[in-house]
Amino acid sequence: MWKVLLVEDEVFVRESVREIIAWEELGFKVAGEAGNGAEALEIIRRNPPDLVLTDIIMPEMDGVELLRRTREEGYTSRFVMLTCMNEFEYVRQAMEYGASNYILKLSMSVNTLRETLHKMNAELMKNHPGHQTSTGGETTDTITPQLAHQASPSEITTHPEVQKILRYIHDHYEQDITVKSMSSYVMMGENYVSALFKKKTGRTLIHYLHQVRVDKATEYLLRTELPVHEIALRVGFVNDNYFIKIFKRLTGLTPSKYRQQHKGPK
C-alpha cells in the first residue's frame, strides 16, 4: 500500500476526503493528517509518505512552501494540490517544484479523486516497479512521439484541462491554434498551460499539434490526389514551405516523397 498524508486546515474538507474514498481498494492508506504545512513537514521528516494530498492556502506554512521545503530536504513524495479557482499562480509555482497534479475544490468528487489516485498509483509504480498494490493496470501520462497519433486524449492523460486541449486539437487541427488561444480556452495562464501540457504529455503543445496535422496530411496524401499546397491548407498550415519542413522533420520525407513511397498502385 502507498502511504498518503492528508494536509488541509479545514477539518470538514480533510474528513470528507478521508471518508469518501475506499483508499485500500485503490492501493493506498491514509498514514497521517495535518492541519498546516508546518505540521505536515514534521510528519514527512518522521515517516515520509508516498503521496501528499495538500491544500495550497493554509496558515503557518502553505502547500507550495511545504512542497518546496520537502524537495529541498531531499524527500521524493508525490504531491497533489487542492486549490480554488483564484489560486492558479500558486498552482504554477507548485508545478515548478514538481507537483504531479492539482484538484479544484469546487469540482472535487469521488470520481475526480479516484482518477487522480489511479494516476498517482501509475506514477509510483513506474518509479518503484517492485512495489505491489491491489489495483489493476493503470495508464500513465507519458506518450512516445511515434504513438501520438494513435492515442486518444483519454489514453494520454486523465488531467481534465489537458484532455480538453487535446480534444480541441483533434477536432479543430485545421484552425489557427496557439498556446495563447488554448490558454484562453481553458482559462489558465500561458506559461502554466505550456508547462502543464509538457509535463502531462511529454511534448510541447505546438509539437503535438504538428504531429496531429502531419498525421492528417499523410491520410490526404495516401487517399486523395490533392496537391501538396491544398493538403497543407486543409490541415492548418498556411505556408507551404513550413508545412514541408515540419512534415519532413516528423516523417523523414517530403510530402511528395512520402506519397511516392507509400501510396500503392492505382
Contact 2, 133 (CB under 8 A): yes
Sequence-distant (≥ 6) Cβ neighbours of residue 190 within 8 angstroms: 179, 180, 183
Percent of the chain, pLDDT > 90? Answer: 42
Instruction: Based on the fold, state whether residues 148 and 205 are members of the same structural domain.
Output: yes
Instruction: Based on the fold, state whether residues 200 and 243 are members of the same structural domain.
Output: yes
Q: How far is CA 68 from CA 65, 104, 215, in A?
A: 5, 21, 41
Q: What is the pTM of this model?
A: 0.50
* Residue 134, in any domain of the structure: no
* Residue 207, in any domain of the structure: yes
Instruction: Based on the fold, state whether residues 25 and 116 are members of the same structural domain.
Output: yes
Instruction: Based on the fold, state whether residues 156 and 117 are members of the same structural domain.
Output: no
Q: Where in the sequence is the domain holding 207, given as residue range(s)? A: 142-266
Name the pLDDT band for 142 (thresholds 50, 70, 90): very low
Could you identify the residue written with the cell 475544490? 105
**pLDDT computed for residue 145 by the predictor:** 35
Number of compact structural domains in the chain: 2
Instruction: Based on the fold, state whether residues 250 and 148 are members of the same structural domain.
Output: yes
> Which segments within 84-196 are labelled E, that is strand?
101-104
* CATH number where 117 lies: 3.40.50.2300
Instruction: Based on the fold, state whether residues 56 and 152 are members of the same structural domain.
Output: no
Tens of pLDDT, residue by residue over 208-261, are 999 999 999 999 999 899 999 999 999 999 899 999 999 999 889 999 999 988
